[in-house]
Amino acid sequence: MAAAVSRRRSKPPGSGGGTGTESAPANGHTPVLLDSVIAALDPRTGAVYVDGTLGGAGYTKALLSAADCIVWGIDRDPDAIARNSDLAAQYAGRLHLVEGRFGDMQTLLADRGLNAVDGVTLDLGVSSMQIDDPARGFAFSQDGPLDMRMEKAGQSAADLVNSVEETELADIIYAYGEERLSRRIARAIVAARAEAPIETTGRLADIVRAVATPRKRSRKRPDNKIDPATRTFQALRIQVNDELAELERGLG
């Protein structure tokens, strides 16, 4: 999901106020709705923008090349910040990188002497760099450690699936994955972890696939065709990264 809000020198989100938004599914490194987002931000000479989900810097690069403006790029993933250090050097004085959460945007920027900006963009979800790296543990299509932490700190997806009670696990899978087989999946996870802790994406995906086969779903439902593990992985990622609370804080 992508969203952009452009204002004339107003306080960044987190300090109150509404937003103008557009949205579409996040689908990796090529930023969604690039033209619409840049049009909404309306890059101008001397203006200051915040890319609150820097990732592969698709929006940031477009802003920097569209006008002689300044961009503050925020990402909670240390890898995303490191990956863009060359870009920051290329745009020295115009691109500033900040490792942190967009929910803390107001404080992060105020600490750096910035109290008003001209526009903010958020492109929610995970980047293709995160999904494509099995070591980050987001993907069910490749085996890797069951991690899913954008920040590389805190409770991992493995910590979660190996510790929470069955009913809580089912609630998470239902609420954040809209998975109607959540109770069956939670039961299977709890049974599997009693045999051995679930530590890899591959094992978790297999556990889910075994009980949430397309046969168990209505033939009429569109998600009959997606990998049965999709919704469970999405739910765990949202829970591990506290994504909805982050969004509320970011837009608050």
Ligand X SMILES: C[S@@+](CC[C@H](N)C(=O)[O-])C[C@H]1O[C@@H](n2cnc3c(N)ncnc32)[C@H](O)[C@@H]1O
Binding-site ranges for ligand X (CB under 6 A): 26, 29, 31, 52-53, 55-59, 74-77, 80, 101-103, 123, 125-127, 150, 246
* Closer residue to ligand X, CB minimum distance, 105 or 229: 105
Measured from the CB atom, the residue of 125 and 177 that comes closer to ligand X is 125
Residue 166 or 242: which CB sits closer to ligand X? 242
Task: Count other Cβ atoms within 10 Å, centred on residue 70.
Answer: 20
Q: How far apart are CA 179 and CA 185, in angstroms?
A: 9
Q: What is the DSSP letter of 31?
A: P
How far is residue 206's CA from residue 55's CA, in Å, rounded to a whole number? 29
Select the residue whose beta carbon is closest to ligand X and give its number. 58
SS3 4: strand
Cα separations (Å) of 198 from 9, 80, 144? Answer: 49, 28, 11
How far apart are CB 221 and ligand X at their closest, in Å?
A: 26
Q: Tell me how far, at minimum, the Cβ of 52 lies from ligand X, in Å.
A: 6
The token duo for 250 is 């970011």
Closer CB to ligand X, 135 or 196, in the complex: 135
CB of 122 to ligand X, least distance (A): 8
Smallest separation (angstroms) from ligand X to the CB of 93: 21
